[in-house]
Structure formats: structure tokens, C-alpha cells
Amino acid sequence: MSVPPALLSVAILVVGAMVILTLTSRLTRDSTALGTIGMLTLVVAALPSVAGDPLSQIALFSILGAAAIAMLLVPSAELHVTTQRPEVAALVLLGSAGAVVLATAGDLLSAALGLETLSLSAAVLIGLGRGERPLEAAFKYFVLSAITFAALIYGLGLIFLATGSFAWPSLAQVEAAYHWVLLAGVMLFGLGVSYELAVVPLHWGALDVYTAGAPALAGYVMAASKVAAVLALGRLVVGAGAPPPAVLIGIGLLSIVWGTLGALAQRELRRMLAYSAVANAGFLALALGCGAEGRAAAVFYVEIYALTALLVFAALAGRGPGPLGLADVPSEEWGATRALGLALGLLSLAGIPPAPGFWAKLAVLAAAWHAAGWGPTVVAAVGGVAGVLYYLRPLPDVFAAVRADGGGPGLRFPAPAVLLAGAAVVFLGLVPGLAYAIARLAIG
């Protein structure tokens, strides 16, 4: 019996995490060795994707890619206890293992297991951040995730009751045995997964996490959980009949409006990014409810969004304490790489072509027009263009802050992570068709 490639990757990730945890005392002093082991684990874990199907390929590439950028950021992560870097690296690997399981699981039970691994790692990663707020945010995130996880487990039970198995419900099954028990089960399971997406009304915990967590880690949590959740939800709605997609469209539009209004009210960069993450989750949910084209658009969108969010958070990493106002000239000397990285990320999030964020929005709009018609398309288009009002607000200051590289005194600046994410964003902007084609193969 052959081992599925994704499972092999998961095993490698877990082994890597174990190795790091075993060597904690030594790696605390040697950050080069820590980074090497972490990156090596990620590279080896990516190898089995050669033999995988498109779904596991896209899951491995995007989740492990996010983890790689996070791994580059580990040395500059703002931690409460600075000796905990090995634990952070191990948690990134474990969280990635959970995310890969959630995205590629063969049945619902494994998906639930992956989800729990991911969200526990995420909560701890956030809690390790510097200051009081990260701990509070992590606690809220954990408690709220327990509530939605309970719903998910209950949904799992209902699905088992209706179909007698933990397999992903297929369309034939649903139509044959279509009654409210199965439908309720599918919806509860889907809502449990949606928590990772941070759609309204399950976004409360994520808002605090995105705002308060150390930037280096919050970006990773955001990226990995959204990628995994989109892939899992995409597989769930394929065989879910009519009501769940309609519910997703409704939730998506609500999240777009909610996140856009919330972001408009913010005066601080991190909070604005957190609220706008809700609006972006709305685009994802909307796309997931819009048929096969929509599911492809959702995967395309989440690839680009995750990458852009990582770029923005990488550019903010190691910036030093204190909130960053939306209309303040950044007080410290910003390196050119940091400022340009942040600017590129904001442009892409705002949807200024040819930055890839714009192509992603267009793909969702095109799918929404065909599957959902007038109303949702117009709401999403207006919500999408309104993004310029908050995303571009800091831009004049950011450009004005461009100085010769070097950074301020005592700040560790992770240029490699910004350059890696920035290059990927530019590539996706110029060759969007490639990423879209892969997305379409992954979830038809």
C-alpha cells in the first residue's frame, strides 16, 4: 500500500518539529542552525508533491511556501520570551502539518483533526508574542475556536448519522438521502471550517489575533489557515447540493460589507489590516458559493491573498513596538526594502492592477456574475473598489519614508522574507494565468 504524498509531507513536518524540540537548548543559541533545520524540513516536505494530485500540490506549495516565509521571519519575531524561537519554529511546522491535513484530508475526521492541530498551533504562536495583548488575543481565539469546533464535531456526528461514513459527502449521496440531518451536518461542519476563514459572524477572535499577534507570526497564521480552509470548504461544497453555496454567498456579502465598513473606521494600520481580512474572507466565501468557476477563483484568490498578506506582515516584522497610525509618517528610519515591500503589498490588497490582488478580485467578480447575478456582483465590486480608501491611505507616508537601506538602530529587519514574498507577488501579477490554471485543476 502506497502512502499518499501529502501524508508523507505531514510526517516529515512532524519529524522536523520533533527534531527542533529535542534540540531546543542548543538551537536557542544558534539561530542559523535553527533556520537551516526549519527550511530543510520544509524543502524535504515539499518533495512528495511531485507525485501528488493537483489538490495536494497546491496545498503543499502554498502552505509550505507560507511556512518558509514565516521561517525566515522567526529570528525577527517579536517574542515575549526571546529564547523561545525554537518553539516558534516547531509550532510553524506543526501548524503547517495541520493545515496540510485539513486541506488534503481523505475524510472528514482527518480534516477535523487537521483543523484542530492548525488552530491550536496558531493560538500558541500568537500567545508567544511580546506584550499583554497577544496573550489575551490568543485566549479569545482559543475559546472561540472551541465553540466553533464543537459545532463542527456535532456536524460530523450528523453527517455520520445520515450517511454512515466520515467520507466527504458526494452529490449523489446528498441527492439520494437528502434530508435535513445531512444538510445540517454539512452546514455545521462548514461553519466550523469557516472559523479559520474569519467570516462574519465568526470573525471576532481572528480580528484580535491579526491585530495583536507578532507581525511575523500573525501573517503566517492568517495565510496558512485561510489557504487550508478554502481548500477544505471547496471540497465540501462540491457535494453539498444547493443550500450551502447560497449560504456562503450570503455570508460572503455580509463579510465584505462588514469588513469594509470596519476597516474604514480604523486609524491604525494593523487594525485596518485585520478588518480588511474579514472583507477578503467575504470574497473567498462568495467565490466558494459560485460553482466550479467560483471555487477555482477562490483558490486563486486565496493563493494571492495569503502571499500578499505575508508580504505586508513581513514588511512590518521587527519594526519595533507601538501601533502604526494610518496617517503618521513612520517615526523610525525605514529601509527601502521594507517601505517598498509594504507599498507593493498595500497596492495589491487595494486592487491596483497589475498587482495580482486585482486579478484575484476580477476572477471572483466574473464568477459571481455568472453564478450569482447582479446584486452580489455589484456589492462585491463596490466593496472591492472601496478598499482603495483604506489600503492606500498610508501609501503617501510609506513612499515618503523610503530611505537608504539599513533600518534603525537595534531593529532586526527580515529583508529576505520581504524579497521572497515580493518577488512572488510580482510574478503572480505578471503571469496570473498560471496560478489560475493550477487553481482550476485543484478543485474543479
Partner 1 sequence: MSGVLLWAWALTLPGLVLTGLGVGRRPGSASLAGPGVLLVVAVTWLLGSRTAAELRQVDWLPFLPDGAFHLRGDALAAVMLAVLGFVSLCVYVYSLAYMADEPPAGQRRFFMYLDFFVASMAILVLAGNLAVLLIGWAGVGLASFLLISFWLDRPGTLGAGLQALAANAVGDAALLVAIVLVPAGCGDLLTLQTPACLAVPGGARLTASLLLVAAAAKSAQGPLYFWLPSAMAGPTPISALIHAATMVAAGVYLLVRTNALLAAAPPVAVATAALGVATALGGGLASLQQANFKRGLAYSTVSQLGYMFAGVGFGAPFAAIFHLVTHASFKALLFLSAGVVIHARDGEEELAALGGLRRALPGAYAAFLVGSLALVGLPGLSGALSKDAILDAGEQANLLLAVCLFGGTFLTGLYIGRLFFGVFHGPRPDEQPIHHPSPLLLWPLVPLAVGAVVAGYLEWPAGLLSSALGETAGHAEPVRFASPFGFFAGLLGVFGFALSGWRGREQAAEPVRVGTDAGWVGAVARRGYGLADRLAAIHSGRLGRYALASVFGIAIILLIGLRA
Which parts of 362-421 interact with partner 1 (CB under 8 A)?
362-363, 365-369, 377-378, 381-382, 384-386, 388-389, 392-393, 395-397, 399-400, 402
Give 18 or 180: the residue with its C-beta nearer to partner 1.
Answer: 180
Give 40 or 389: the residue with its C-beta nearer to partner 1.
Answer: 389
Q: Any contact of residue 109 with partner 1 (CB under 8 A)?
A: no
Smallest separation, CB 330 to partner 1 (Å): 12
Smallest separation, CB 431 to partner 1 (Å): 8
Q: Any contact of residue 296 with partner 1 (CB under 8 A)?
A: yes
Smallest separation, CB 266 to partner 1 (Å): 7
Q: Which stretch binds partner 1 (CB under 8 A): 51-59, 67-75, 121-129, 296-304?
A: 296-304
Smallest separation, CB 353 to partner 1 (Å): 4
Burial of 29 (0-12, 13-18, 19+ CB in 10 A): exposed
Give 201 or 323: the residue with its C-beta nearer to partner 1.
Answer: 201
Q: How far apart, in whole angstroms, are the C-alpha atoms of residue 428 and residue 434?
A: 8
Smallest separation, CB 60 to partner 1 (Å): 23
Secondary structure of the chain in HEC code, one letter for each residue: CCCCHHHHHHHHHHHHHHHHHHCHHHHHHCHHHHHHHHHHHHHHHHHHHHHCCHHHHHHHHHHHHHHHHHHHHHHHCCECCHHHHHHHHHHHHHHHHHHHHHHHCCEHHHHHHHHHHHHHHHHHHHHCECCCHHHHHHHHHHHHHHHHHHHHHHHHHHHHHHHCCCECCCHHHHHHCCCHHHHHHHHHHHHHHHHHHCCCCCCHHHHHHHHHCCHHHHHHHHHHHHHHHHHHHHHHHHCCCCHHHHHHHHHHHHHHHHHHHHHHCCCEHHHHHHHHHHHHHHHHHHHHCCHHHHHHHHHHHHHHHHHHHHHHHHHHCCCCCCCCECCCCCCCCEEHHHHHHHHHHHHHHHCCCCCHHHHHHHHHHHHHHHHCCHHHHHHHHHHHHHHHHHHCCCHHHHHHCEECCCCCCCCCCCHHHHHHHHHHHHHHHHCHHHHHHHHHHHCC
Q: How far apart, in whole angstroms, are the C-alpha atoms of residue 119 and residue 183?
A: 25
Size of interface with partner 1, in residues (CB under 8 A): 76
Among 183, 217, 256, 310, binds partner 1 (CB under 8 A): 183
Q: Any contact of residue 258 with partner 1 (CB under 8 A)?
A: yes
Smallest separation, CB 122 to partner 1 (Å): 17
Smallest separation, CB 111 to partner 1 (Å): 18
Q: Any contact of residue 96 with partner 1 (CB under 8 A)?
A: no
Among 4, 106, 157, 250, binds partner 1 (CB under 8 A): 250
Smallest separation, CB 50 to partner 1 (Å): 25
Give 222 or 367: the residue with its C-beta nearer to partner 1.
Answer: 367
Among 13, 14, 111, 207, binds partner 1 (CB under 8 A): 207
Q: Which stretch binds partner 1 (CB under 8 A): 22-30, 42-50, 264-272, 311-319?
A: 264-272
Q: Any contact of residue 234 with partner 1 (CB under 8 A)?
A: no
Q: Any contact of residue 282 with partner 1 (CB under 8 A)?
A: no
Among 20, 90, 128, 187, binds partner 1 (CB under 8 A): 187
Q: Any contact of residue 95 with partner 1 (CB under 8 A)?
A: no
Query: Could you say which residues in the range 313-372 bind partner 1, by CB under 8 A?
Result: 327, 329, 347, 351-354, 358-359, 361-363, 365-369
Among 191, 228, 281, 339, binds partner 1 (CB under 8 A): 191
Smallest separation, CB 143 to partner 1 (Å): 6
Q: Any contact of residue 288 with partner 1 (CB under 8 A)?
A: no
| Cell 447575478 found at | 373
Smallest separation, CB 247 to partner 1 (Å): 5
Burial of 143 (0-12, 13-18, 19+ CB in 10 A): exposed
